[in-house]
Chains A and B, each alone.
Chain A
């Protein structure tokens, strides 16, 4: 049977009533979990795992896959509506999505986010269906130096996307990298910066930091300033959703989908760096690049497409090689193993029905996500009408549950509340918080890839530049860095020239 026939059979299975119900239920759960600030979709998948014991293996995968697809999108709903990202990958949605909400264009922002996410997800589901094998071969060529280079590109993008103060962003990012080093280091197993507190050995988890910096600090700010979370409902001529708006961002969506599909196959990279890098690249490419951060649709569409485009390709290494690249795919692997199914090349030979049903379901889930997304977004929009005090209490409660739920560790709740205070302070003095979170996420990854690369290549640091893929990515990162720092350097240079010129003699 060729791919089309197999996929056709997969669709038949996926359209069966039980399968369709499983997918829809999973999607709804995923979108809701993703949208609740604090509760991540990885949480939701872990909680759903015991429920899959009684399901058939294929159904279990459809259920978890749908939660995954829905959850990766869901985080953007709260990012756009209340400026609190539901998952780390939705951080970029705050930057241009929330300003649109403030202008009264919330419906339009949500529509763009849903459409971009669906197109991104669909693109990568198609890649998964038709090019899993070549993609897996491609993924295997990526080794530690390539992962390191991709992580560096992510870190540079963070600086590149800061509007006009790259140096302040750099400080925030560095602080995040330092926080990321706390705990038992992954290579030598030595405890660092734990100050003798055993609980600190577990390290500072980035999801916990994110919940503190964004959700908790937002509520503290709400209490302190007594301001209204509700955006202006003033009628805005721009708020109408027109087809042309989507057509205008087609380039951004296409680029985001491509970037996400490629980055998704890298183990450990996943949705967050994908979204950030897509945002950074879009900012350089777009005509409105310098206006990014003020509510530009392209700035919302690119990272949205990218983060959902990682979902399908993240499943490529899982299904073709049996290698989970992220926390979400690791849970899927557990579900398969508990059913006695070993993913890998043999799965395609032994049980193509299962594989192609999963493929069809991923395609279907991304289309159905448009409806699930609109439904949940409608519901969440009513949150804007709830009194700020109630909303604040609700967010704090979810934050505590979410921080605890990451690792079932009470210490994480204290860390989360601490970062809530820190985040509020940072906001008050105008210090950007997003680079800090990204530093906590990417710093430890960069370190691990760096150390393993050196061990693997005889402690030779030139390997990062001499390996073709790694060298290309690092070259791109260098271009990025110069591009974004150019205005600063230029200004400094002018100041120095003026200073010298002004000096007599």
Chain B
């Protein structure tokens, strides 16, 4: 802090702090770099999203936005860092569905009310994919085989207690019993159907674009209320007779809950502008994750509803 800055701060404190610094802070916000805490290691989906967004937010906010990876405990290590940072908008973090699922399982010391979700910037339904050389050409064939041979088909997923797990449990309850094979390392999960190690993989399309483009993966079934515009021939789980809550994989940008309203508004506007740029549109369409960013109450709700849905399933 400069000498002038220190004097001002001291003066402000003596003058009775809050009323003076509060509005002043927001008017000038942001006047120094904003740290973006990515809650997973470099190279993952959250990291690529965070880095892309940071790059596009810089011109919108006029300050630099360095990315810090704080991985660990399903993303909770980074969120703890975020929730214990000053609630002044100068620390943002990625909050993603995988971490929210971990809360339902009792991991971490974070809760939805600790964070203010600025915007849900990516949201994507998941599919069941098979490898190109799989005997299953359609979802009906897969379902028929699974009904006739319960507990024999294997599905590569991201783990137990995740939305992947919930989807498989609901399908099993409705007579289609397949085995959940948890692969926590994404690379190993993607390779599993290719190497013939599992029959099926539960995955969002954006993470396996390379295999979809090359035709090595065949999409069989979509977990969503409506068909996916990019995959108009793939039936939804509803069409195939399953009754379930659809749990999208989502990624959001969040700040500590106590962050002032006007700072949140400023960040929200910047995120909406950044996601409107051509660069972001190219990025999101390539990863099949485009959506109108959800903000405000709707964004907050996405997180709580998701957590309740997972928790309800885990209680059974």
A residues at B contact (CB < 8 Å)? 45-46, 49-50, 53, 140-144, 147, 183-184, 186-191, 198-199, 201-203, 267-268, 317, 321-325, 327, 329-334, 337-338, 340, 342-347, 407-409, 448, 451-452, 455-456, 458
Contact = CB atoms under 8 A, between A and B. Distances in A.
B159 A186 contact: yes
B105 A190 contact: yes
A269 B283 CA distance: 31
A186 B158 CA distance: 10
Contacts of A45: 42
Contact of A343 (B66, B80, B198, B210): B210
Contacts of B151: 458
A337 to B, nearest CB: 5
Nearest first, the 5 A-B pairs at minimum CB distance are A202-B72, A330-B43, A344-B210, A201-B73, A140-B195
Contact of B210 (A46, A191, A267, A342): A342
A321 B105 contact: no
A189 B159 contact: yes
Contacts of A344: 210-211, 213-214
Contact of A331 (B42, B74, B105, B107): B42
B184 interface: yes
Given A140-B195, A324-B43, A456-B198, A268 B185 contact: yes
Nearest to B160: A188
Given A187-B182, A340-B282, A452-B181, A199 B77 contact: yes
B144 interface: no
A417 B59 CA distance: 41
A186 B77 contact: no
Contacts of A329: 43
Contacts of B11: none
B69 A46 contact: yes
20 contacts: A50-B67, A142-B195, A143-B197, A187-B159, A187-B182, A191-B106, A202-B72, A202-B73, A317-B191, A321-B210, A322-B190, A330-B187, A333-B43, A334-B44, A337-B48, A344-B211, A407-B71, A408-B69, A408-B81, A455-B179
B90 to A, nearest CB: 16
Contact of A267 (B179, B188, B209): B188
Nearest to A330: B43
A198 to B, nearest CB: 4
A321 B191 contact: yes
Nearest to B156: A456
Interface residues of B, number: 59
Contact of B194 (A140, A183, A199, A342): A140
B246 interface: no
B160 A187 contact: yes
Contacts of A347: 210
A409 B41 CA distance: 12
B161 A189 contact: yes
Contacts of A407: 41, 69-72, 77
Given A184-B73, A323-B190, A340-B283, A189 B107 contact: yes
Contact of A198 (B41, B44, B109, B180): B109
A144 B192 CA distance: 9
B293 interface: no
A46 B197 contact: no
Contacts of B192: 143
A338 B53 CA distance: 11
A331 B183 contact: no
A504 B71 CA distance: 66
A186 B189 CA distance: 13
B145 interface: no
B51 interface: yes
A340 B286 contact: yes
A202 B110 CA distance: 14
A408 B70 contact: yes
A330 B44 contact: yes
Nearest to A200: B73
Most chain B beta-carbon neighbours within 10 Å: one of A143, A144, A451, A452: A452
A183 B74 CA distance: 10
Contacts of B107: 184, 189-191, 201
A340 B285 CA distance: 11
